[in-house]
């Protein structure tokens, strides 16, 4: 019997219910994944108890010799993984990584040019309700209305007019590669700093199936829990000359004590990502996304930009009689979990939307491949074409459950004894 089930059956039951949900549903949310039992074990380790404000060998507390080892291990591995000169693994999340990166190179009121939120950008790239939009003077670039790809010529023009101090790229819902050489040239043309937020594609970059921003960007921020398949968290990579300002922006400017259990778990995840099997995993994520995309299109659905280069795609319902929200709910009722998303130039509200974002990192972790992707895309299309057909709903739900039973979660055993 686990400690939690013994001392707090109510809390344990929540873990069990969530465990069952994750295991019987198929996660198609592009930003989620299933981390390994080893990563989970590190997040639940005694390192959670340790205060370690500061950096390795320069802490404000005693007793830090082993957590120093944890942080040094994470730093060495992440630098090797991405070929970075400097790393900081303390940001608690992706939003914190971005906050610290901005603080390192900007002062409030400075100009920043970033990707439009409605075109795939992230809240921390200048959202009006977010700290970023309140502290800095943001302008946004977007995608071309016909191709749904970033219009680099328009972006160059905008940079020349707006003259930002920082150019930000990276997105939450952009299915195509970024042209890093062009972005660097645009930043250079106005003497701006260039930051790439690789939160979504970090695992693909680590696995060699997505170009790396490292040779081009001054700063690269990331989450660790999406394609990178680590614990929930953030990180910042940069050129060596920015090391001091990045580190002091994370601590003491933005955070207090680092989450040492999360940092150990990041080290474990980076270690996993350094293995050849992670390359194979990344290749399969992309192959699965390509298959899913091709099948949805064959069945008559439109995808933004006509497909995908990475792990995600966005279905475009602007010409269809269904909203993103309705699609999300219809799919969830059969155990396919995805999320509604605004599409560029959307005419529906953010609570309804005309898009649905789908991603393959989590299902690929479970071992699903092209054959399962074809199956899933058929279920998606069948369900969306008859969202009120209850017998069909029941049938599809049982098909999804049967498939998940063949692909158990790798971390299931660990979760069960949490």
Ligand X SMILES: Cc1ncc(COP(=O)(O)O)c(C=O)c1O
Task: Give the C-alpha separation, 87 to 103, whole Å.
Answer: 16
Active site residue 383: no
| 200 near ligand X (CB under 6 A) | yes
197 tagged catalytic: yes
User: Which residues, including other chains, have CB under 8 Å from residue 320's CB and lie 6 or more apart?
Assistant: 301
Rounded Cα gap, residues 70 and 271, in angstroms = 12
Question: CB of 301: closest distance to ligand X in angstroms?
Answer: 23
From 34, 119, 122, 266, residue interacting with ligand X (rule: CB under 6 A) = 122
Residue holding tokens 């700063």? Answer: 219
Name the residue number minimizing CB distance to ligand X. 94
User: Among this protein's residues, is 226 annotated catalytic?
Assistant: yes
53 in active site: yes
Q: What is the DSSP string of 260-328?
A: HHHHHHHHHHHHHHTSHHHHHHHHHHHHHHHHHHHHHHHTT-EEGGGS-SSSEEEEE-TTSS--HHHHH
User: Are 322 and 302 in contact, with CB atoms under 8 Å apart?
Assistant: no
Smallest gap from residue 93 Cβ to ligand X (A): 3
CA angle 74, 215, 191 (to 5 degrees): 115
Give the contacts of 78 (CB within 8 A, at least 6 positions apart): 84, 87, 89, 235, 237, 266, 270
Under rule CB under 6 A, residue 120 binds ligand X:
no
Subset of 61-100 contacting ligand X (CB under 6 A): 93-95, 98
Consecutive H or E run containing 63? none
Considering the complex, what minimum distance in angstroms separates the CB of residue 110 from ligand X? 19
Site for ligand X in 25-44 (CB under 6 A): 31
Q: Is 124 in the site for ligand X (CB under 6 A)?
A: yes
Binding segment (CB under 6 A) for ligand X, from list 11-19, 133-141, 195-203, 297-305: 195-203
Binding of ligand X by 230 (CB under 6 A): no
94/355 with CB nearer ligand X: 94
Q: Is 361 in the site for ligand X (CB under 6 A)?
A: no
Specify the residue, 294 or 337, whose C-beta has the smaller distance to ligand X. Answer: 337
Q: In this chain, which of 133, 164, 170, 271 binds ligand X, going by CB under 6 A?
A: 170
Catalytic position from the list 24, 32, 41, 51 = 51
Least distance in Å: CB of 49 to ligand X? 23
- At its nearest, how many Å lie between ligand X and the CB of residue 10? 27
402's tokens: 């049967």
Please check whether residue 239 is in contact with residue 83, taking contact to mean a CB–CB distance below 8 angstroms: no
For residue 89, the 8-state DSSP code is -
Widest CA span in the chain: 65
Question: Which C-beta is closer to ligand X: that of 121 or that of 335?
Answer: 121
* Residue span 234-273 as binding mask against ligand X, x where in contact by CB under 6 A, dash where not: x---------------------------------------
Residue 223: CB minimum distance to ligand X, A:
4
* Nearest residue (CB) to ligand X, 23 versus 360: 360
CB crowding 224-237: b at 16 or more within 10 Å, else e: bbbbbbbbbbbbbb
Q: CA of 233: how far to CAs of 143, 154, 302, 354, in Å?
A: 29, 34, 33, 30
Q: What six digits make up the tokens of 216?
A: 């081009």
Tokens 């952009």 sit at which residue? 174
Residues near ligand X (CB under 6 A), total:
15
Which residue among the candidates 71, 151, 197, 372 is catalytic per the annotation? 197
Q: Which residue stretch of 67-75, 168-176, 320-328, 359-367 sits at the interface with ligand X (rule: CB under 6 A)?
A: 168-176
Q: Which of these is catalytic: 32, 53, 378, 399?
A: 53
Name the phi and psi angles at 340, rounded to 5. -65, 155
Task: By CB under 6 A, name the binding residues for ligand X.
Answer: 31, 93-95, 98, 122, 124, 170-172, 197, 199-200, 223, 234
Catalytic residues: 51, 53, 197, 223, 226, 232
């Amino acid at each position: 019997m686990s400690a939690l089930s013994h001392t707090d059956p109510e809390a344990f039951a929540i873990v069990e219910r969530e465990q069952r949900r994750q295991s019987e549903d198929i996660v198609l949310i592009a930003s989620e994944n299933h981390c390994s039992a080893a990563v989970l074990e590190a997040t639940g380790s005694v390192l959670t108890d340790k205060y370690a404000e500061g950096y390795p060998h320069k802490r404000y507390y005693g007793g830090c010799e082993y957590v120093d080892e944890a942080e040094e291990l994470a730093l060495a591995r992440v630098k090797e993984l991405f070929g970075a000169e400097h790393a900081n693994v303390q940001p608690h999340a992706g939003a914190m990584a971005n906050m610290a990166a901005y603080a390192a190179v900007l002062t409030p009121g400075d100009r920043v040019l970033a990707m439009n939120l409605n075109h795939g950008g992230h809240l921390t790239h200048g959202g009006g309700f977010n700290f970023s939009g309140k502290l800095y003077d943001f302008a946004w670039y977007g995608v071309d209305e016909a191709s749904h790809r970033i219009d680099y010529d328009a972006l160059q023009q905008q940079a020349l007019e707006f003259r930002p101090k920082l150019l930000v790229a990276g997105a939450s819902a952009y299915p195509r590669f970024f042209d890093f050489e062009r972005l660097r040239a645009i930043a250079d043309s106005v003497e701006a700093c260039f930051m790439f937020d690789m939160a979504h594609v970090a695992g693909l970059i680590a696995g060699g199936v997505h170009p790396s921003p490292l040779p081009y960007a001054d700063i690269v921020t990331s989450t660790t829990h999406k394609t990178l398949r680590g614990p929930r968290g953030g990180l910042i990579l940069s050129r060596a000359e920015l090391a001091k300002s990045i580190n002091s922006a994370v601590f003491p400017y933005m955070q207090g004590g680092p989450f040492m259990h999360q940092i150990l778990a990041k080290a474990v995840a980076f270690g996993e990502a350094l293995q050849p099997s992670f390359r194979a995993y990344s290749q399969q994520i992309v192959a699965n996304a390509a298959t899913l995309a091709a099948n949805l299109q064959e069945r008559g659905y439109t995808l933004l930009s006509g497909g995908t280069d990475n792990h995600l795609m966005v279905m475009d319902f602007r010409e269809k009689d269904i909203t993103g929200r309705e699609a999300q709910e219809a799919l969830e009722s059969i155990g396919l979990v995805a999320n509604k998303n605004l599409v560029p130039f959307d005419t529906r509200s953010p609570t309804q939307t005309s898009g649905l974002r789908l991603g393959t990192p989590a299902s690929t972790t479970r071992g699903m491949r092209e054959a399962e992707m074809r199956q899933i895309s058929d279920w998606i299309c069948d369900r969306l074409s008859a969202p009120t057909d209850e017998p069909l709903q029941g049938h599809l739900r049982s098909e999804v459950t049967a498939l998940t039973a063949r692909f158990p979660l790798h971390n299931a055993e660990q979760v069960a004894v949490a």
